[in-house]
Structure 1
Amino acid sequence: MTLLANLFARLGPPWVQVSCVAAALLLATVCVRPAFAAVACQRAPRHGVGTVAWFYGEQVPVEQLSRFDTVVVEADSGFDPRAATTVLDGETSGCTNWFAYVSVGEVTKNRNYFAAIPRKWLVGRNNDWASAVIDQSAPGWPRFFVDRVIAPLWARGYRGFFLDTLDSWQLITKTDTMRARQQAGLINTIRALKARYPDAQLILNRGFEVLPEIHGDVAAIAFESLYGNWNQASQRYGAVPESDRAWLLDQARLIRERYRLPVISIDYCAPDDAQCRRETAAQICAAGIEPYVTDGALRTVGVGADAACRARLDALQSANH
């Protein structure tokens, strides 16, 4: 107490003392603010992964995408999630979780690990995307996938992964035995990822068949085209048939009720059709599903859940829990 009194005595008259204290408090606030911001950015959304966007372009528009809680990007673009989290000046920009796109069931020649994959593991072809289908039952595939695909992304700072092409095995299987082998291999691959990186967050694109086994390792489930689709072969946008939509809605209901997981639909509209994007996002939300509506190449910033939609989905998720 004596030391504190001596300090104030040296500061001079009371008005000087008050000014110094105010300045000290202001300085402390400015200096401490980044620490509090960092803590706030570590908080997960109330349920699941929150609002989600996908962007596969080469130049990631970080400021525009930072309004989303989670953003999936094409890691081969060279995007650095650590720089986006630490360098940008803004309370929301540093709070976005950046996920890397990862293809599990297929591989294209432009991937840097393509040449290292044994040719005997490439057992089919997806001509629409010029990619090879990978044999999920190959004994060495789970370890290769973690070592050569996931580990480099983890080293670059990614802590979340969007696992795509989880149903590509359907292109090569003709019997129940073959389907069972592929599904078992896919389960082993996802479990190998979580065994190496227990803190990794995973969003699955479909993968409905393996959910009973691995739902506990998953943060959310996504699927494409509830209302608006994109045909890669014809390069055209179109409406989803009612029967296809009804089937997807049944899958979404089962996932929410049985596994308590958030469900996301990625739908497609022309990049210059803002009305289509807004209306499609509203339709998806009305179905109790997290919306994201973008272009067929996922190279523009799309439309996700607005405030009213977010409140609706949070209430629905709370009820399911």
Structure 2
Amino acid sequence: MKPTFLLFLALLCATVSAQAQPFTQPAAATTAPEGTGLIAANAAVANGILTLSLKSKGGEFTAWTHVFIDVGPAAKPSYNHTSGKPAGNGLEILLEGSQAYRFNSDDPHVWSWTPLAGVTVERTVTGDTLTLKTALAPLGLPSGGTVKIFAATYTENYADTLDTIPRDTRSWTFTVPKYNAPLPGAKTTSAVTPLPARTDARTAFKKIQSYSCFYGPGRTTDLLTRDAAIIETRAQSVAEVNALRAAGRLAIGYISIGEDSELRTGDTKGPGGYDSAYFDRNADNLPDKNETWNSYFANAASPAWRAHFLARADEIIKSHGVDGFFLDTVETSLSYRDSFPAMVSLIRELRARHPAAVIVLNRGWDLLPDLGATPDGIMFESFTLSYDFAEKRYVTMRPSAWDHGLEVWQTLIHPAQKKHGLVALALDYAPAADSPEIALAYDRAATLGMIPCVTSIMLDAFYDIAYQGRTDARWLSPAETADTRIVTLDTERNGFPAGTRVTPSSNYADYTVAAVIDGVADKDSLGWRDRAWASTESRTEHSLEFTFPPVASATGVTIDWARDNGRAFPARAFRVEVRPAGPDATAWTRIAQVKDNTVGRSLITFDPATITALRIVQSVAGGASDRPNLMWVQQVSLVR
């Protein structure tokens, strides 16, 4: 029996086993991929464990499955499933992967869930059948009452619904056996208490040679093979954390410092009557949201957020006895620059509050000069390999990203390694432990003195990788050149003739200039790495140059500046120049000088002309007001 369940099983008094009548439905009329068409379901409770099973119409049962529970009409708030099925309305509990969640938004159409602390889900697939097991009591289901259950299968990464059960107007109901459930808000006493804190955790961390980053439950045997484990305490039991620490391993607890996974009302002084912790940069009276992870950007300068974050950090130490903190979402302070000093001070306050705890930053290397010896480590997430959420596939980062990583290491990370003994971790994502590109990730990490870890994008897998990284001097030199940055059009697009060469002055990490002439009207359908082009963020002129084969007739150019989170980032100061055809074809002629621009689309017109080239030049520090050293362009079209 998993230690996670011990706390709640102690609360159960003479629990009656219950078996629901199986729910069946015919196969869907439309053909669904194997393992996704739902034809039967069942629910049962025995010895305090709720067991749910789903059966598909042949094939290995899909990994992309959600199970929801409708606790009852009085339960609020509740979620309405996007499938529109009648049984998919009024849902409060979600079982996804190894975690259980409770819905937390006032809007039933918003995907916003809070993990249920201490609750884990055991997931087993046997051919065409999926079985889920979890402790009954912590779900908060009504003792002796009747609940409704709803399940759905999806395409990869839960993108689109493939099938549901129930599919029609019927309900899959289940009568909960009577049990002594803890009263709402009641505190319980665990039979397992955390081990005493280590006084040498920071010193021990500087000596690690390996680590894992795992947010699922259990896997203690695997985690013991690494010197340190970054874990999600809401998925790991105290006993499991104790097992790691008793063996001399370091357990470092995940905590988000720049985003809130739960949309809280808190002091009600923030946007839309929510907590004052949240940003509202676009002034829509709603907290700014990270759509990828369904979380909300939090302001490190907000007293409400600082109090909430520090209390959460205290609780992680108290409840699980972890050896330190892994601070995720530090880079919110870069997106919201005004909060940068507050983020620095918040991390320093955490250090003062927990002087013996290990502190590891996720990215956020721009803070290192201000933080000095405060952090013990930094993680470079997506150092070599990553995941494209828009295309739903694992990707190898582009050479521009490798060069950015090299520059970050040379200017920020390596100096802190030498001065403060900072431990550098590399975290990369791949579909399997035998993915061939893992060798590339390990080699780059070894060359730059980083400790590697490769895992799944949901951080719920443990890859046992035998490969040993090899140092290679080529990773100490730029991988991208001026020539490799050039993109040549193979067909007419955006008004530019086939054969047009597009030359950027530079590329920001993992960007390519191909985005500005891809002809895609709906840029929101693309991932960030394909949606726009960006220059390096440096205090210099930045430019895009279009060279024609050999000439083009034009009357203007349209520039769509990049958009991020619904907001445009137009260059405030820029000029447009052309090279007219003829004897002076090598000389640039300025046709427009723009200052104090604030519009997201700039149309520059000129008298009809035959030209050999056109370029857009952003002035030094002429970018958007809060990213002045970045040139960020979504699309460029030639008016002919």
Give TM-score, length-normalised by structure 1. 0.70
- How many corresponding residue pairs? 255
Tell whether 2:294 aligns with 1:130. Answer: yes
Amino acid at match of 1:185: A
Aligned to 2:315: 152
Q: Contact 2:331 / 2:364 at 8 angstroms: preserved in 1?
A: yes
SS for the counterpart of 2:405 is helix
- In proportion to residue count, which structure has more strand? 2
Deviation at 1:43, TM superposition (A): 9.5
Note the 1:301-312 alignment, pairs <5 A.
301-302=462-463
Aligned to 1:247: 404
Q: Summarize the Cα distance change of 1:42–1:133 in structure 2 as closer, same or farther, 3 Å threshold.
A: closer
Query: What 5-or-longer segments of structure 1 have no aligned partner?
Result: 1-38, 88-93, 174-178, 313-321
* Aligned mates of 2:464, 2:441 — CA distance in 1: 9
* Aligned mates of 1:98, 1:220 — CA distance in 2: 14
Q: Summarize the Cα distance change of 1:262–1:234 in structure 2 as closer, same or farther, 3 Å threshold.
A: same
Aligned to 2:210: 51
* Aligned mates of 1:285, 1:44 — CA distance in 2: 22
Q: Summarize the Cα distance change of 1:303–1:152 in structure 2 as closer, same or farther, 3 Å threshold.
A: same
Aligned to 2:97: none
Aligned to 2:237: 79
Deviations 1:251-298, CA, capped at 9 Å, x for gaps: 123344421222111011102644333453234223332211111111
Aligned to 2:371: 214
Deviation at 1:138, TM superposition (A): 1.1
SS for the counterpart of 2:427 is strand
Deviation at 1:139, TM superposition (A): 3.0
Deviations 1:44-87, CA, capped at 9 Å, x for gaps: 54835431210011x22011111111100111114325532467
Query: What 5-or-longer segments of structure 2 have no aligned partner?
Result: 1-197, 269-274, 280-287, 473-640
Q: Contact 1:54 / 1:73 at 8 angstroms: preserved in 2?
A: yes
Residue 97 (structure 1) aligned to one of 246, 250, 255: 250
Aligned to 2:445: 284
Residue 108 (structure 1) aligned to one of 261, 264, 271: 261
Aligned to 1:10: none
Q: Percent identity of the aligned residues?
A: 23
Tell whether 2:276 aligns with 1:120. Answer: yes
Which one is further off, 227-236 or 96-105?
227-236
Q: Summarize the Cα distance change of 1:221–1:278 in structure 2 as closer, same or farther, 3 Å threshold.
A: same
Aligned to 1:295: 456
Q: Contact 2:201 / 2:356 at 8 angstroms: preserved in 1?
A: no
Aligned to 2:328: 164
* Aligned mates of 1:259, 1:186 — CA distance in 2: 19
Note the 1:227-238 alignment, pairs <5 A.
227-238=384-395
Residue 266 (structure 1) aligned to one of 427, 447, 450: 427
Aligned to 1:224: 381
Aligned to 1:29: none
Deviations 1:105-131, CA, capped at 9 Å, x for gaps: 111128xxx454752221121111111
Amino acid at match of 1:128: T
Deviations 1:9-30, CA, capped at 9 Å, x for gaps: xxxxxxxxxxxxxxxxxxxxxx
Aligned to 2:219: 61
* Aligned mates of 2:332, 2:392 — CA distance in 1: 20
Q: Contact 1:205 / 1:222 at 8 angstroms: preserved in 2?
A: yes
Deviations 1:146-165, CA, capped at 9 Å, x for gaps: 12x10110102012111000
Deviation at 1:247, TM superposition (A): 1.0
Amino acid at match of 1:65: L
SS for the counterpart of 2:303 is coil
- In proportion to residue count, which structure has more helix? 1
Tell whether 2:341 aligns with 1:188. Answer: no
Q: Contact 2:379 / 2:425 at 8 angstroms: preserved in 1?
A: yes
* Aligned mates of 1:217, 1:42 — CA distance in 2: 14
Q: Contact 2:433 / 2:463 at 8 angstroms: preserved in 1?
A: no
Aligned to 2:509: none
Aligned to 1:91: none
SS for the counterpart of 1:95 is coil
Report the structure number with the largest CA radius of gyration: 2
Q: Contact 1:71 / 1:99 at 8 angstroms: preserved in 2?
A: yes
Q: Contact 2:223 / 2:244 at 8 angstroms: preserved in 1?
A: no
* Aligned mates of 1:295, 1:68 — CA distance in 2: 17
Deviation at 1:104, TM superposition (A): 0.7
Amino acid at match of 2:406: L
Deviation at 1:140, TM superposition (A): 3.7
* Aligned mates of 2:305, 2:218 — CA distance in 1: 31
Aligned to 1:319: none
Higher RCO (Cα < 8 Å, 6 or more apart): 1
Q: Contact 1:70 / 1:97 at 8 angstroms: preserved in 2?
A: yes
Q: Summarize the Cα distance change of 1:50–1:160 in structure 2 as closer, same or farther, 3 Å threshold.
A: farther
Q: Contact 1:104 / 1:166 at 8 angstroms: preserved in 2?
A: yes
RMSD over aligned Cα, in angstroms? 3.0
SS for the counterpart of 2:459 is coil
* Aligned mates of 2:471, 2:339 — CA distance in 1: 39
* Aligned mates of 1:231, 1:117 — CA distance in 2: 36
Deviation at 1:305, TM superposition (A): 8.8
Amino acid at match of 1:76: R
Q: Contact 1:142 / 1:188 at 8 angstroms: preserved in 2?
A: no
Q: Contact 1:51 / 1:305 at 8 angstroms: preserved in 2?
A: no
Aligned to 2:618: none
* Aligned mates of 1:310, 1:48 — CA distance in 2: 20
